[in-house]
Structure 1
Amino acid sequence: MDCGNLWRVVLLVCFAAPSLAQKTQLQAHLEHLDGVRNPMAATDEPRLEARRYIKEKFRELGLQVHSQTFNTILKPQYDEQTVSGENLVGIAPGTVGGPVMVVGADYDTPPQSSPLEDNGAGVAALLEVARHFMHETGANGPFQRLNTVIFVAFDLNVKAYGNSHPGKPGSYHFLHQWLWPYINQTSNNFAGAIILDSITKFSTEFGSQYVVQEFKDAFPKASSAIASSGNKGDFLAMFTREDSRSINLANMFTANYVKDRKANMFRLQPMSVRDGLSYVGVLKMFNHQSHHPFWSFRPSEELVPLPALLLTDTDVYRMSQDVCDRPCTPAAFLTRGREGFITKTIDAVTNTLLSLQTERVPVTGAGGKLGVTTPLFLIACVTVISGIIR
């Protein structure tokens, strides 16, 4: 092999290394999230296993780990029953004590859903955001944490199980009984939440995105953009309220998502929700997801809506380009398209946290922190390439 071709091979390996490492991490997470995690299932072991695994990963990352137990009510047939849930909280404390940010995902599973799609991949992404954030803000990282970030895996999202269940979901209990006291019962101490719920379905096929009339009425601009692309499910949907704090959070996430849009096949589709009759129908499409308790928060009689983004592939309103017959293994599920779509979301969420909750450490002399992240694999690649050129 001549020098020029060898240089190209080394360069390809260098830039493929991060993608391979990310896929390996995601698959390792999904191996612990491939069972039906629901208290009405034949066995509750998959939910308990997921719970153990998430706690273990939070601890490995150096997060302060807390568990919040709560009770909620299910009505699987005729009789109501009380079931116990456990929200899993990992805190990355800041040094200043400014507004807190939350990144959350449900780790349980609706009875009839694919456990990897809903919401195993969301939990895997949550764990990867936490891993990247803690690495970048660690002892040798280029960022210093100023404001606290809380990573939370919600249990028992009963609103996604069906309309017959009267209980409150885990995200409701987390917000009312854990987070609100934690932020001293004032919204000024809260910067916003980013919720990951069904983030794997991606398709460049025409007609793969189903747009109902209620959606067209509520989001005419977004519907027009989707229609102009042939109703392709080639985007991540971002739902947010249309108030100033929510818009600021959405704008920051958008800026981080579109940084490399020319080199990426995925796009972001914002959906701003206002109060009004045109939104009543569309709210029913996604008010079962874990952002909704933030939007509808009432610590007393007064409504105190809190900023929260819902990131989703729109779930049942989209057909996936990659079919994975059940039982679907994590290895078969994590195709190149799915892995790329999830990774794009992980990167954007991580960079949003770094933008809002940290500051870059100044460049220092020998022995100090560097101001630019320089992964070891990249240093090694540059060394090899330099040797080849010489």
Structure 2
Amino acid sequence: MKRLLLAGALLTAGLSAVAQSADTTRLRGHIVALTSTPEPRNYLHEASLNQAADYIRAELGAAGARPTEQPYEVKGRTYRNILGHFGPEDGPRLIIGAHYDVCGEQPGADDNGSGVAALLELARLLGRQKGLLYRIDMVAYTLEEPPFFRTPHMGSYVHAQSLRQAGVPVRGMVALETLGYFDDRKHTQRYPVGLLKWVYGTRGNYLTVAQKFGNGRFGRQFARRYRAAAALPVKRFKAPAWLPGIDFSDHLNYWHFGFPAVLLTDTAFYRNQHYHEPTDTLARLDMRRLGLAVDALLAVVAGP
């Protein structure tokens, strides 16, 4: 009888673990939805951007988040950040963000359909968690790409500024940027400084947690915990803020307003030759490893 009870307990635990793992079919479906808009989801095609935004809002709501919007105007046009949060209403919050716009006339499956898909799948898994200890805000940003990159028109700038102005306490921010492209062959990974290949290797088969020097305890803890939780290789990269690539996403705006932030990425153009090209398609992405990236995120952000 004891053996039967033990077997049942192990089975239940196993089923629970499976239930809390990322669903690669859902990840794929999110990327299909984002890359199937009538026109590429860039700042010139408001209808396609809004279609993507509406999809993200609906998925956050279905996951159990409390969805809201942050609209703002740029040159007479309205653009929208889409937000959803889990956990307590009050207290310090963790920001998990990914931009949903693309650069130019391309589908943007990796940049940044993969990041948004990870955001939405993480939201679904967080919706199943009980007793989250702190507030987690999921934010899908608009206008990350040129010509608005490094301007106050970036959706992440608007969001980070609103937190600072409202005096909201922030534990930290994680930017999800290009998470689905991997290549196990040698000499497929490049670096802003050539000598780094001797430290990190030449195979594009890992994720990177990147942050600047002086990023505080949050960055150190996130990098350590994420690497420990991940079932795929993870490199920790810390460098001066001026090093090319270290601030090439939405986390730079949280740095600007004094919040600790990290970048989780497959390193984008340092690996993916299809970056910002019409060939950045779903067929080139690795859904299994994207799912593992989400599983590690859940382990970190749902913990204490």
Post-superposition Cα deviations, 1:20-58, rounded to whole Å, max 9, x if no partner, equal: 9711111221221014101224xx433221111111111
How many residue pairs align between the two structures? 286
The 1:225–1:161 alpha-carbon spacing in structure 2 relative to 1, beyond 3 Å, is same
Equivalent position of 1:161 in the other structure: 146
In 2, the alpha carbon distance for the partners of 1:92 and 1:38 equals 29
Residues 86-122 of structure 1, C-alpha deviations (whole Å, 9 max, x = no match): 0001011317x33210100001111155421111111
Please state whether the residue corresponding to 1:258 is helix, strand or coil: helix
The residue number in structure 2 matching 1:173 is: 158
Rounded to whole Å, the distance in 1 between the matches of 2:151 and 2:220 is 32
Q: 2:301 aligns with which of 346, 353, 370?
A: 353
Question: Of 187, 191, 197, which residue of structure 1 is paired with 2:171?
Answer: 191
Q: Which amino acid aligns with 1:350?
A: L
Corresponding position of 2:271: 318
**Which residue pairs with 1:8 in the alignment?**
none
> 1:26 maps to what in 2?
27
Q: Which of the two has higher C-alpha Rg? A: 1
Whole-angstrom CA distance in 1 between matches of 2:92 and 2:56? 25
- Equivalent residue for 1:87? 81
Distance between the aligned counterparts of 2:177 and 2:157, measured in 1?
16
Question: Residues of 1 paired with 2:220 and 2:120: CA distance?
Answer: 21
Shift of 1:333: 4.6
Are the structure 2 counterparts of residues 286 and 85 from structure 1 closer, same or farther at C-alpha, using a change threshold of 3 Å?
farther
Q: Which sections of structure 2, spanning at least 5 residues, go unmatched?
A: 1-10
Q: Does 1:250 align with 2:220?
A: yes
Counterpart residue number, 1:225: 199
Query: Given residue 225 of structure 2, which amino acid in structure 1 is its aligned partner?
Result: A
Amino acid of the residue matched to residue 314 of structure 1? T
Q: What letter is aligned with 2:191?
A: V
**Taking every aligned residue pair, what percent have the same amino acid on both sides?**
22
The superposition leaves residues 113-136 of structure 1 with CA deviations (integer Å, 9 ceiling, x where unpaired) of 542111111101000111111112
Match of 2:189 among 191, 209, 213: 209
Q: Give the TM-score of the pair, scaled to structure 1.
A: 0.65
Equivalent of 2:116 in 116, 123, 137:
123
RMSD: 3.1
How far is the alpha carbon of 1:291 from its aligned partner? Answer: 0.3
Segments of structure 1 that go 5 or more residues without pairing to the other structure are 1-10, 73-80, 138-143, 298-304, 357-390
